Amino acid sequence: MNTDIPIENMCCEVGRTLLDALAQIDLNAKGIVFAVDEAGRFVGTLTDGDIRRAVLARCSLDTKVTELLDKGSDVFGQVLQSVKARAPRVNLQQSAVSASVGTSLEDLVAKTSDRIKIIPLLDEDGRVADFFERTTSFHAPIAAPELLGNELDYVTECIETNWISSQGRFISIFEKQFAEHCGTAHAIAVSNGTVALHLALVALGIGPDDEVIVPDLTFAASAAVVLHAGGKPVLVDVDRESWCLDPGCVEQAITPRTKAIMPVHLYGRPCDMERLQQIAEAHELIIVEDCAEALGAQVRGAQVGSFGRTACFSFFGNKIVTTGEGGMCVTSDPALYEKMLVLRDHGMSKTRRYWHECAGFNYRMTNLQAAIGVAQMECLDSILTYRDHIAEMYHEGLADTDLVLPHPGSGMREVVWLVSGMLEESVDKDQLMSRAKEKGVDIRPFFYPLSDMPPYEGCCPRPTPVSHELSGRGISLPTSIAFSDDDYARIIDTVRECL
């Protein structure tokens, strides 16, 4: 793997001192040494930063390498007593990362990250035989969180003020900001997008014998929550152009037991809400929107999330706005709002502590998550603009290829979640994905049609040919503000080559 640096220069025996380790780092100019025992077996990794933090914490340069590795926690304890703010963080996880000689490039890339760029390659006896350095290879994951604004400041405030649990000012700020964004009266922050959907269904009274119409092509959580609420998901086909619920198929699937329709704005592409609303009104059905992938998308000037009786969002790490894990329900129905508040908090009466009106849940979000969410929402416009720019680069760069990237329907403002498109039938999708992966570019397949999977057997009254076709041909490309335009040029070149 590595050709320039003799492996001895990358290693330092654990019995030597931090000064010796620094001399090795100076020699190899990689900012890192592998600590080894007398037999050359890998023990742990030390970076120049680890040593600097130890020295700042009054650790002598004559200290043995082994002490810093083993007694990481002791050093940590001493420092907490003396200089609390400068606690050295010996990165235990980093210390442990290694791979064996002969590990595939793909696995090596997967073991590295922006923080762990160099890992030792060990022989059968655990001796350091070589090392792998990530800068020699490119890695574009499908998505990465983008913390660009006040996230750190707000989270720091939570820690400094001790408000780290589910009370605190950021929860209410986040909810208010979110409701304003959607144009709804209320928003209720919860611990993830799946429980947001579950909370909505339970609050709406969906239960045994109730049917909820769900698209066959969606992330499984949309349908799983119907089962968890005790109802039956009825899976119907999607529209070839929008990739979302086909209103004609929805109408066909309505029975006397149908209670609700769950439009999912898939990959940031809005559903035909006008037709779905007409159908819902005609049959007295409730609309619960799944907006997990489409924050900021609009239909005729109105935000997705403002159409249903209630709508749910996800703030998982790969979504448009993230709080790590997190979710939100929005609604303008005051009674439903009250019901969701009570159910989110153990079903406890709002006026009588420990009096439970119903069996509820703990679906609360923490102030820490909300702090990140508030900072993210402050940047939403820039996030969406930059995501549009990413999609434009892909559109231009892949225009004449066997990957067709769609344009939004009329009256729709679609948002870019994961830039997604359809491969021509002649393209072998699996081969494309593995070729791209070898070159460091993650390409994701579409979701499988839910009706093909065991939990949803018997939930699909009619064949769903469009869901099957889109699922077979659809792929998503790396989409993150964390990459530069140059990175995208490189990703596009790679995709072109692999096509």
Ligand X SMILES: *Cc1c(COP(=O)(O)O)cnc(C)c1O
User: Applying CB under 6 A, which residues contact ligand X?
Assistant: 192-194, 218-219, 221-222, 264, 290, 292-293, 314, 316, 327
CB of 264 to ligand X, least distance (A): 5
Q: Is 290 helix (H, G, I), strand (E, B) or coil?
A: strand
Distance of closest approach, residue 354 Cβ to ligand X, in angstroms: 29
CB of 321 to ligand X, least distance (A): 11
By beta-carbon proximity to ligand X, the closer residue of 46 and 383 is 383
Strands 420-423 vs 474-476: parallel, antiparallel or unpaired:
antiparallel
- For ligand X, the closer of residues 95 and 314 by Cβ is 314
| Residue 245: φ, ψ to 5° | -35, 130
Residue 412 near residue 273 (C-beta atoms within 8 A): no
CB of 292 to ligand X, least distance (A): 3
CB of 78 to ligand X, least distance (A): 41
The residue among 95 and 464 lying less far from ligand X, judged by its C-beta, is 464
Pair 236, 218: CB distance under 8 Å: no
| Closer residue to ligand X in complex, CB, 138/219 | 219
Q: Burial letters for 162-179: b for 16+ Cβ neighbours within 10 Å, e otherwise?
A: ebeebebbbbebbbebbb
Measured from the CB of residue 355, what is the shortest distance to ligand X in angstroms? 30
- Residue facing ligand X at closest CB distance: 193
- Which two structure tokens, joined as six digits, stand for 327? 């979710």
Q: At what angle do helices 485-498 and 380-397 cross, to 10 degrees?
A: 40
Q: Least CB distance from residue 290 to ligand X, whole Å?
A: 5
Closer to ligand X by Cβ: residue 193 or 449: 193
CB atoms within 10 A of CB 48: 15
- Cβ(351)–Cβ(217) under 8 Å? no
Task: Classify residue 400 by its DSSP letter.
Answer: T
DSSP 140: B
Taking the complex as a whole, the smallest distance from the CB of residue 385 to ligand X amounts, in Å, to: 22
- Label the pairing between strands 186-190 and 327-331: antiparallel
Rg (CA), the chain: 26
CB of 364 vs ligand X, minimal distance in Å: 14
| DSSP conformational letter for 60 | -
**179 or 292, CB closer to ligand X?**
292
Contact between 129 and 122 (Cβ < 8 Å): yes
Which three-class secondary structure state does DSSP give residue 499? coil
Separation CA 3–CA 130 (nearest Å): 9
Q: Which is nearer to ligand X, 219 or 483 (CB)?
A: 219
* 329 CB-side CA count, 13 A: 32
- Given the complex with ligand X, which of 97 and 220 has the nearer CB atom? 220
- How far are the Cα atoms of 166, 345, 382 from residue 350, in angstroms, in the given order? 16, 9, 38
34 or 447: CB nearest ligand X: 447
